[in-house]
Amino acid sequence: MASLPSAVHGAQTGEFRLVAAPARLPIVGKPHPDTDVWCYEGRVPGPEIRVRQGEPVRIIIENSLEQETTVHWHGIRLPIAMDGVPGLTQPPIMPDGSFTYEFTPPDAGTFWYHPHANSLQQLGRGMAGALIVEEPEAVPVDRDICWLLADWRLTSSAQVASGFGNAMEAAMSGRVGNTVTLNGAVTDDVPVRAGERIRLRLINGALARIMALRFEGHRPVAVAIDGQPCDPHEPEGGRLLLGPAMRIDVMLDLQGKPGRRYRVIDDFYDGLSYWLTQLAYDERPAIRTHPLDAPLSLPRNPVPEPDLATAERHVLRLQGGMMGGGAMMGMGGMQGMDHDASWAINGHSMTGDGHAGMAPHLTLQRGRSYVLTMRNETAWWHPMHLHGHSFRVVNRNGSSVPYRQWADTVLLPPKETADVAFVADNPGDWMLHCHVTDHQVSGMMTILRVA
């Protein structure tokens, strides 16, 4: 059984303090040894931070690691100076140093935090946590819970395997691990009670693993994507597709039988399906016989609506990586290439986690609407994340996308295209990168400047 991380006490004052440091924790569970991790407040995942929409938050990060770090508040529309990109938006937090992040989250929803320095190792060794922004009025559910899913590559003695940043892997799927944890532990059962409605906030906090979750015997209804409410809908084939960094909030009506167990299955990779956990019903009778009679839809956030008719349009071509046959694709003759680069956007590769002097690829005018066409010309999947904004996914491969889907990370299958639209309303130099960490650090990254 996983120990659920409890919320940091700070919801009253909006002030939190997180120490980043190594620790040793039971990730796999007995009889396996504990795992050496890097984490916040001695826990994996880091404390679940719960704050309220529109109220100021102050989070002090103290760095007790032996290397620099920063924290990125993934998906929050905040001022550029609080975005946590080393060199670009702030100096890195040195060992024994600290940094105070202050912002007022404009949107309610499910967000998360993670380092943006040496991301492969810092995220891959356990540094991540949920950041939940609550609606001013509570949404009627019986329970509101969060599953932060993480993927580890562990040795037989349950230690994090070395080999981060392997070039071959970086040019393919990235570092997909061998152990998936739910809130920091391998979790066989999640206790539930018949009849209850759970708001389940799913966060894919993996370095590279894409997940497709199915709930045996249940029909989860997606109500928010990347924190932003969508029209409530059952996902196609009952499969919740989550690329790295993506979140989906579902409403889950527990209409199964008392005493039974139902598997939650991840079958994203062909032939590598496994069960993540089981919904374990206790023996008590259902608390109600029909699903809770309350609306499923969440109140909308104040995200500006892009004007598609007047929007300025740009194409971002995602390039590089291995082809099916093992040859590098289309990287010959690209500008700005260095030896670590396996990927590019429109012919340019930016590598690493962020540094000073990264030149913007596009300059956007504040207040204008934009449509970015992201065209995946590669043979691999890419969850593309834009900092500082939420965008509306309007088209995929030329067909319009239903259910008003907003996101901050859009998952692009091989050879597919998505159009995303947004108002450039937040000034600064914002990163746009693939959230498969190996892809980001080996070239699939660029900067959009909002002037």
Reference 182, options 144, 147, 131; nearest CA is: 147
State in angstroms the smallest separation of the CB of 193 from ligand C2O.
34
Q: Does 74 bind ligand C2O (CB under 6 A)?
A: yes
State in angstroms the smallest separation of the CB of 423 from ligand C2O.
20
For residue 302, give both structure tokens: 């104040």
State in angstroms the smallest separation of the CB of 114 from ligand C2O.
6
Q: Does 433 bind ligand C2O (CB under 6 A)?
A: yes
Could you say which of 43, 50, 72, 153 contacts ligand C2O (CB under 6 A)?
72
Q: Does 247 bind ligand C2O (CB under 6 A)?
A: no
- Report the C-alpha gap between 117 and 68 in whole angstroms: 7
- Report the C-alpha gap between 165 and 158 in whole angstroms: 20
State in angstroms the smallest separation of the CB of 437 from Cu ion.
9
Q: Which among 136-144, 204-212, 310-318, 430-438 is the span making contact with ligand C2O, rule CB under 6 A?
A: 430-438
Subset of 16-45 contacting ligand C2O (CB under 6 A): none
Reference 343, options 166, 172, 127; nearest CA is: 172
Q: Does 117 bind ligand C2O (CB under 6 A)?
A: no
State in angstroms the smallest separation of the CB of 113 from ligand C2O.
9
CB of 151 closer than 8 Å to CB of 208: yes
State in angstroms the smallest separation of the CB of 185 from ligand C2O.
23
- The DSSP secondary-structure symbol of 348 reads B
Cβ proximity to ligand C2O: between 251 and 444 the closer is 444
Q: Which among 17-25, 36-44, 214-222, 427-435 is the span making contact with ligand C2O, rule CB under 6 A?
A: 427-435
State in angstroms the smallest separation of the CB of 444 from Cu ion.
5
Cβ proximity to ligand C2O: between 206 and 224 the closer is 206
Edge to edge, what strands does the sheet with 197-204 contain?
Answer: 179-182, 143-152, 197-204, 247-253, 221-225, 228-233
Q: Does 209 bind Cu ion (CB under 5 A)?
A: no
State in angstroms the smallest separation of the CB of 35 from ligand C2O.
23
Subset of 293-312 contacting ligand C2O (CB under 6 A): none
CA distances, 11 to each of 5, 43, 48, 99, 391 (Å): 15, 19, 11, 20, 28
Q: Does 116 bind ligand C2O (CB under 6 A)?
A: yes
Q: Does 382 bind ligand C2O (CB under 6 A)?
A: no
- Report the C-alpha gap between 446 and 451 in whole angstroms: 16
| Cα 188 → chain centroid | 23
State in angstroms the smallest separation of the CB of 348 from Cu ion.
15
φ and ψ at residue 122, rounded to 5 degrees: -65, -45
Task: Tell me whether residue 373 is exposed, middle or buried, using C-beta atoms within 10 angstroms of its C-beta: 0 to 12, 13 to 18, 19 or more.
Answer: middle
Q: Does 439 bind ligand C2O (CB under 6 A)?
A: no
Q: Does 385 bind ligand C2O (CB under 6 A)?
A: yes
Q: Does 382 bind Cu ion (CB under 5 A)?
A: yes
Cβ proximity to Cu ion: between 131 and 436 the closer is 436
Cβ proximity to Cu ion: between 141 and 436 the closer is 436
**Site size for ligand C2O (CB under 6 A):** 10
Residues in the chain: 451
Bridge partner residues of 61 (DSSP): 18, 99
- Report the C-alpha gap between 220 and 227 in whole angstroms: 16
CB of 86 closer than 8 Å to CB of 70: yes
DSSP secondary structure, 94-145, as one string: -TT-EEEEEE---S-EEEEEEE-SSHHHHHHTT--EEEEEE-SS----SEEE
Subset of 422-451 contacting Cu ion (CB under 5 A): 434, 436, 439
Cβ proximity to ligand C2O: between 51 and 203 the closer is 203
Q: Does 411 bind ligand C2O (CB under 6 A)?
A: no
| Cα 232 → chain centroid | 20
The residue whose Cβ lies closest to ligand C2O is: 74
Q: Which among 40-48, 224-232, 246-254, 377-385 is the span making contact with Cu ion, rule CB under 5 A?
A: 377-385
| Cα 37 → chain centroid | 20
Residues that bind ligand C2O (CB under 6 A): 72, 74, 114, 116, 245, 385, 387, 431, 433, 435
Residues that bind Cu ion (CB under 5 A): 382, 434, 436, 439
